[in-house]
Amino acid sequence: MRIGEEMAGVLEALPGHAAFDGWNMTALGRALADAGEAPEDAALLFPGGAGEMIEAFFAWSFVRMETAAAQADLAAYRTPARVRAVAAIWFEQNAGNKEAVRRALSWLSLPGNLLRGLRINAGMADAVWHAAGDKSADFNWYTKRGLLAAVLAATMLYWVHDRSGDEEAVLWFLDRRLADVAWAGGLRKRVAGRLRGRRFGVG
């Protein structure tokens, strides 16, 4: 999603108002005013309402995350460490947006909004992998993004409900989920290898 400078200013201001007013036209109008735009343009900017606002905010946040990751020195890290570092950037950048994100997740959890929520979650997993330098184009592309999407969804839920203010606790939770995925991935490869061996009469 391409986000112009004017839109970026609105999306940067929006979560601060959404935290108090909710993801609605009132919050959007105030964000427009903060960005030096006309508040009456709110209905024109996101005619689809809350869903479009939320999706645009997350898309913008993923662009910010990828930009920061590109500026960080991650080349020397192994892939799992790069994935962890990129995800950590998102949580750090959005530390002040936690209540707005909590409200967004609450809205996305409603039955009619689940598909949009899944799309946002998949977009985050894709952005993290891309920022981490993943260039896979085979079936692993889907597998890795599916596993990471589950990790990120669980970590984000933990993050929005954590009131301790301890960033290390969130990263510890992320590390545990990533370790679970790594273990499951290793088990899957071992099982697949054994099945191939039996198929061809090996072992």
pLDDT single digits (tens) 130-148: 999 887 767 778 888 999 9
Q: Helix or strand or coil: residue 4? A: coil
Which bin fits 178, alpha (ψ -120 to 50), beta or left (φ > 0)?
A: alpha
| Nearest-5° Cα angle at 195, 193 to 201 | 100
Q: What is the pLDDT of residue 3?
A: 58
Cα–Cα distance for residue pair 91/81, rounded to 1 Å:
16
Q: What is the pLDDT of residue 17?
A: 98
Exposure of 7 in the CB half-sphere (CA atoms within 13 A): 15
Q: Domains in the chain and their CATH numbers?
A: 57-199 (1.10.357)
Work out the average pLDDT over 160-188: 80
Q: What is the pLDDT of residue 119?
A: 97
Note whether 130 and 66 are within 8 A (CB): yes
Q: Helix or strand or coil: residue 164? A: coil
Candidates 116, 114, 186, 121; CA nearest to 148 is: 121
Work out the average pLDDT over 142-162: 94
Q: Biggest alpha carbon distance in the chain?
A: 72
Q: What is the pLDDT of residue 124?
A: 98
Q: What is the pLDDT of residue 23?
A: 98
Amino acid, single-letter form, for residue 190: R
- Non-local CB neighbours of 83 within 8 Å, separated by 6+ positions: 128, 129, 132, 148, 178
Q: What is the pLDDT of residue 190?
A: 44
Backbone angles phi, psi at 111, to 5 degrees: -50, -40
Cα–Cα distances (Å) from 172 to 106, 141, 177, 180, in that order, read 24, 26, 9, 12
Q: What is the pLDDT of residue 194?
A: 44
Work out the average pLDDT over 92-118: 97
Q: How far apart are the first and last CA of the chain?
A: 50
Pick the most confident of 145-149, 152-156, 163-167: 152-156
Cα–Cα distance for residue pair 203/199, rounded to 1 Å:
10
